[in-house]
Amino acid sequence: MTITINEELRAYIDPLTEDEYQALERSLLAEGCRDALVLWGDLLVDGHNRYGICQKHGIPFTTVQNRNFKSMEDVHLWMIDNHLGRRSVSDFQRGVLALRKKEILSARVAQSDPAATEEKTEQSESVRQDGAAPAKAALPLTREAVARTARVSSATLGQIEKIRKTAAPELVGAVKAGMISINAAATVASLPVEKQVEAVAGGKKELRKTARQLRESRQPAKPTPALAPPPDDATPEQLAIHRLQGQVEELTRERDQLKQKVQHLSIALAEARAGK
């Protein structure tokens, strides 16, 4: 039997973690390969890890042909639906998969009827068991519908979309590894790439600190309490100290305002670069 491995297809879905791979290997060694590998012709579509482990240990396996695929896009859609239905997939991974599905289906609608790209067509969000992709169906092109497909909120989906567009690979890896939440990662993704990499290199605490500082920088500046007037019987020395204290507070306010402006400009610049 000839089985062809397409590296791009194998990498289309996030790989197993080391622990997940070892658990799968132990299961196959103990129970054999119970689920058939899915093929399209001689192309392996589903079961890359099982196939590799079976080859390594000489474990017998079976295959099944999916003859409903008409194109590589159909294969991608089947893989996406297959993984969206799995419990072990994280919120971030589901969001990325749902956005990929939206892109594929939106492109199909645009190709068949450019005027239909703005229409809200209905499609069942259940996974097709036969793997066939509806020829003319498309996800509703609304964020809310895509979010429901991913089982996340619309706000979370927006954050995932921002991470996909502007986050450095190191920051994406940190999200996948659970070092930082989706919310915090979307905030850090506003920074220039080199700053993101520095934050990731600093570990979980540094990432959280960076996200917190960015959020605080976007909040309106808290009014500084007015300096109490000097007492009526203040000596010249006390009056001089009071004046200096007032100057220090004014300079501190100006410094904080400038720091906030610099942070806002850095974020705006990073977002503008990402949008090009």
The residue from 52, 67, 82 where one domain ends is 67
- Which element (helix H / strand E) includes 262? helix 236-275
Could you tell me the pLDDT band of residue 255, with boundaries at 50, 70 and 90? confident
pTM: 0.69
How many separate domains does the chain show? 2
22-41 pLDDT tens trace:
999 999 999 999 999 999 99
> Is residue 117 one of the residues assigned to a domain?
no
Residue 132: pLDDT band with limits 50, 70, 90: very low
- Does the CA dihedral 118-123-129-130 come out positive or negative? negative
Does pLDDT of 202 surpass 50?
Answer: yes
Q: Is residue 42 part of a domain?
A: yes
Residue 135 lies in a domain: no
User: What φ, ψ does residue 65 adopt, rounded to 5°?
Assistant: -90, 135
**pLDDT attached to residue 268:** 61
Q: Is residue 175 part of a domain?
A: no
Q: Is residue 232 part of a domain?
A: yes
| Reported confidence tier of residue 63, pLDDT bands at 50, 70, 90 | very high
- pLDDT (average), residues 244-255: 84
Is 39 a domain residue?
Answer: yes
Report phi then psi at 258, rounded to 5: -65, -40
pLDDT at 126 over 90: no
Domain presence at residue 26: yes
265 part of a folded domain: yes
For residue 258, the enclosing domain spans 223-275
